[in-house]
Homo-oligomer: A and B are copies of this chain.
Amino acid sequence: MQMRRLTDRLDGLAFGGDYNPEQWDEEVWKEDDELMRRSRVNLATVGVFSWALLEPEEGRYDFGWLDAHLDRLHANGVAVDLATPTASPPPWFTLAHPDAMPVSPEGTRLTHGSRDTYCLAAPAYRRAARRIADALAARYGDHPALALWHVHNEYATLCWCEHTAAAFRVWLRARHGSLDTLNEAWGTAFWSQRYTAWEQIQPPRATQWHKNPGQALDFRRFWSDEALAAYREQRDAIRAHSDLPVTTNLMLPGYQNLDLWAFGREVDLVSVDHYPAAPGVDAAADTAFGADRARSFGGGAPWLLMEQGTNTVYGGDRVLGKEPGDIARHSLGHIARGSEGALFFQWRQSRAGAEQWHSAIVPHSGPDSRVFREVTALGENVSRLGELAGSTVRAEVAVLHDADAWWALEVDGLPSKELDYHATLRRAHRALWDAGVTVDFAHPEHDLSRYRLVLAPALFLLSDAAATNLNRFVADGGTLLVQHYSGAVDERLHARLGGYPAAPLREALGIRVEEYRPLGRDEEIVLSDGSGATVWSESLRTEGAETLAAYTGGMLAGSPALTRRGFGAGSGWYLSTRLDDAGYAALVARLLDEAGVSEGFPGLPSGVEAVTRHAEDGRRWHVLINHRADAVPLPEPAHDLLTGGRVDRLEPGGRAVLRAH
Contact = CB atoms under 8 A, between A and B. Distances in A.
Nearest to A359: B515
Contact of A115 (B23, B192, B214): B192
A482 to B, nearest CB: 17
A605 B591 CA distance: 53
A210 B197 CA distance: 39
A113 B204 CA distance: 7
A107 to B, nearest CB: 6
Given A192-B90, A515-B321, A209 B52 contact: no
A341 to B, nearest CB: 25
A493 B109 contact: no
A139 B321 CA distance: 64
B189 A89 contact: no
A468 interface: no
A318 B187 contact: no
Nearest to A55: B192
A46 B48 CA distance: 59
Scoring A349, A355, A369 by chain B CB atoms within 10 A of each residue's CB, the highest score goes to A355
B92 A318 contact: no
Interface string A578-597: 00000000000000000000
Contact of A95 (B23, B199, B206, B514): B199
Copies of this chain per assembly: 3
Given A206-B110, A357-B413, A357-B414, A495 B352 contact: yes
Interface string A468-496: 00000000000000000000000011111
A236 interface: no
Interface in A191-225: 191-197, 199-202, 204-215
Scoring A56, A320, A363, A500 by chain B CB atoms within 10 A of each residue's CB, the highest score goes to A320
Contacts of A415: 318-319, 357
Sorting the interface of chain A by its residue count into under 10, 10 to 19, 20 to 34 or 35 or more gives: 35 or more
A364 interface: yes
Interface stretch (A434-442, A517-525, A643-651): A517-525
Contact of A49 (B191, B319, B324): B191
A365 B204 contact: no
Contacts of A370: 514-515, 539
Given A20-B190, A190-B350, A353-B213, A113 B207 contact: yes
A52 to B, nearest CB: 4
Given A193-B90, A413-B355, A108 B110 contact: no
Nearest to A102: B208
A269 to B, nearest CB: 25
Contact of A114 (B88, B94, B210, B316): B210
A112 interface: yes
A637 interface: no
B109 A318 contact: no
A256 to B, nearest CB: 13
Contacts of A91: 193-196, 200-201
B354 A212 contact: yes
Interface in A69-115: 85, 88-92, 94-95, 102, 104, 106-115
Interface of A is mostly: loop
A116 interface: yes
A210 B354 contact: yes
B52 A193 contact: yes
B351 A192 contact: no
Scoring A193, A207, A369 by chain B CB atoms within 10 A of each residue's CB, the highest score goes to A193
Given A187-B352, A192-B50, A353-B213, A517 B320 contact: yes
A1 interface: no
Contacts of A59: none
A21 B362 CA distance: 66
22 contacts: A49-B192, A56-B196, A89-B192, A92-B196, A104-B106, A107-B108, A110-B208, A113-B193, A115-B209, A117-B207, A187-B351, A190-B350, A214-B353, A279-B520, A315-B520, A318-B521, A349-B495, A351-B494, A354-B413, A365-B500, A365-B514, A369-B514
Given A113-B204, A113-B215, 14 more contacts: A52-B196, A53-B189, A56-B194, A92-B200, A111-B207, A113-B205, A114-B208, A115-B192, A116-B209, A117-B208, A187-B350, A212-B354, A318-B518, A365-B512
